[in-house]
Amino acid sequence: MGTATGDPRAAAPILCLTTNPAIDITYTMDELRIGTSHRVETGLARAGGKGVNVARVLHQHHEPAIVIAPIGGPVRVLFVHDLDRSEIAHRLIEVESPTRRTTAIVTPAGTTNLNERGSAISPDDWSRLLEVVRAEAPAARVVVSSGSLPPQTPGGFCASVVEVAAAAGKPVIVDVGGEQLRQAMAAGATAVKPNRHELLDAMGGSDPLDAARRLAASGTGTVFASLDIEGMLAVQPDGRAWHAQIGRVLDGNPTGAGDAAVAALAQAIAEGATLEEQLARATAWSSAAVLSPQAGSIADPADLAAGIRITPIG
């Protein structure tokens, strides 16, 4: 296990589970011309996946975090080396299936992402992954489970993570889509953070507020729904809702904005912040991530936080 150094709170980390990790490769170029060859500068390659990005943002804010993930294939050495170099603690289980790669091509016109779906891992690997969470949860402040799921993920896996965290008496945040999102909410997740697409895909309909209210009503926690340039919703089980929006349009790379929001929620929940404080911090950090060139890091959110408006919704 890699360990972070120099942090007096290292005994109380935030667990960051990512079931579909990746090696993220980012190319920055002036223009992408489809159907032609490009000579580019060496791309930035580093350990990725949503849970890893959450851990990076937390680490940037001096919050101890532990990455938990299944890793396999030829990129395993690069993945471990990058986490160690970044001083991000980790508990990785070695699997037969190769870890996927993602590629982001960043140009002034926008970011193009090529995300491999990932490979299935064995039933035994899933059991070992859950046992690592069970072993680490008692010493954690918050458990986070975020990111896409590889093929053949067991039904109810995210709900099982929620149950393991609850058994250890820890709050748990889930950032996932589909049936796993609904199951995690029903199992008692403290918070879930779908984006608009994930929310509507899971709940149906076309109104994200209505969908968030229906999802929240199925559990006991809060639904934080990110709506891109339209800001973020926070909805409680009784239907009460708040909308947060930043006061200006941001130009940059939106990749990783949702992960920054999850990191902010994890920190705020660990600190016992109010719901409005959680929503404001998640909105500020998410916006600050847009101003950073790579997922897993954010610009200074202080100025952005000052411009956030939070409005109760009747």
Q: What would the pLDDT profile of 209-245 be if each residue is shown by its tens digit?
A: 999 999 999 999 999 999 988 999 999 999 999 999 9
Domains located in the chain, CATH noted: 14-313 (3.40.1190.20)
Per-residue pLDDT tens for 120-150?
A: 999 999 999 999 999 999 999 999 999 999 9
Asked whether residue 14 carries a pLDDT value surpassing 80, the answer given is yes
CA dist 41 and 22 (Å) reads 21
Who's near 171: CB < 8 A, 6+ residues apart? 141, 142, 143, 165, 190, 191, 269, 270
Query: Which one has a higher pLDDT value, 300 or 127?
Result: 127
Q: How confident is the model at residue 296 (pLDDT cuts 50, 70, 90)?
A: confident
For the chain, the C-alpha Rg in angstroms (whole number) is 18
Who's near 271: CB < 8 A, 6+ residues apart? none
Contact 67, 84 (CB under 8 A): no
CA dist 289 and 126 (Å) reads 31
Q: Which helix (H) or strand (E) holds 174?
A: strand 172-175
What are the φ and ψ backbone dihedral angles of 103, each rounded to 5 degrees? Answer: -130, 125
Token pair recorded at residue 205: 């309909």
pTM: 0.92
202, HSE (Cβ side, Cα atoms, 13 Å) = 30
CA dist 45 and 168 (Å) reads 35
CA dist 145 and 136 (Å) reads 13
Q: Which helix (H) or strand (E) holds 142?
A: strand 142-146
CA dist 228 and 255 (Å) reads 11
Contact 110, 31 (CB under 8 A): no
Asked whether residue 199 carries a pLDDT value surpassing 90, the answer given is yes
Q: What was the pLDDT predicted at 100?
A: 96
The rounded percent of the chain whose pLDDT value lies above 90 is 82
Residue 144: how many other CB atoms lie within 10 Å: 33
